[in-house]
Every structure is written in C-alpha cells, then in structure tokens.
C-alpha cells in the first residue's frame, strides 16, 4: 500500500475548511485514501469529520496511504498546501 509522509501546511491545521477541501477531493477519487498521524489509526480521507478528529495542527506530520499511488499523491499534495488562505 503506497504511503507518503507529509507535513500539514494549513495555518489552522486539518480543521474545518482544509478538512472539507481534502474530503471532497478524496470522495471524487476511484480508490480509498486514508490519513493518519504516525502511531495512530488512519481515517477515511473522504470524511471531513474523521480528518478533524486527528487533531493534526500546522507542521504536524501525517501519513497518507491508499491502494492507488496517484490518488495518495493527490491528497498528500492538498495536505501540504495552506488551504485556509
């Protein structure tokens, strides 16, 4: 399963607006993508509520994983952006 470690770029972390943007993008993919904090249980990236439960703030490292490497890369690219700008 392809996994990519990335640093959260949004000023508010993976909170409401960034989580909504990420979950909407993940929901449009053909494969399931998971997001998790190292050492924790990953959550479905298509659920904004589940993303917010991670409590990942700006600068936190999260792991994005899934069956399709292209989909993992797409979600990882969103996580590193400041989606609250």
Average pLDDT, stretch 5-17? 96
Catalytic annotation present for 61? no
pLDDT tens per residue across span 13-55: 999 999 999 999 999 999 999 999 999 999 999 999 999 999 9
pTM given for the model: 0.95
Contact 80, 35 (CB under 8 A): no
pLDDT for residue 72 = 98
Average pLDDT, stretch 54-69? 97
Residue 35's closest CA among 12, 77, 11? Answer: 77
Among the listed residues 15, 46, 51, 63, the single catalytic one is: 15
pLDDT for residue 1 = 87
């Amino acid at each position: 399963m392809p996994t990519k470690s990335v640093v959260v770029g949004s000023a508010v972390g993976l909170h409401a607006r960034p989580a909504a943007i990420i979950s909407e993008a993940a929901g449009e993919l053909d494969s399931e993508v998971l997001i998790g904090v190292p050492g924790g249980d990953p959550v479905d990236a298509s659920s904004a509520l589940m993303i917010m439960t991670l409590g990942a703030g700006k600068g936190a490292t999260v792991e994005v994983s899934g069956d399709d490497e292209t989909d993992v890369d797409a979600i990882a690219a969103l996580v590193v952006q400041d989606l609250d700008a």
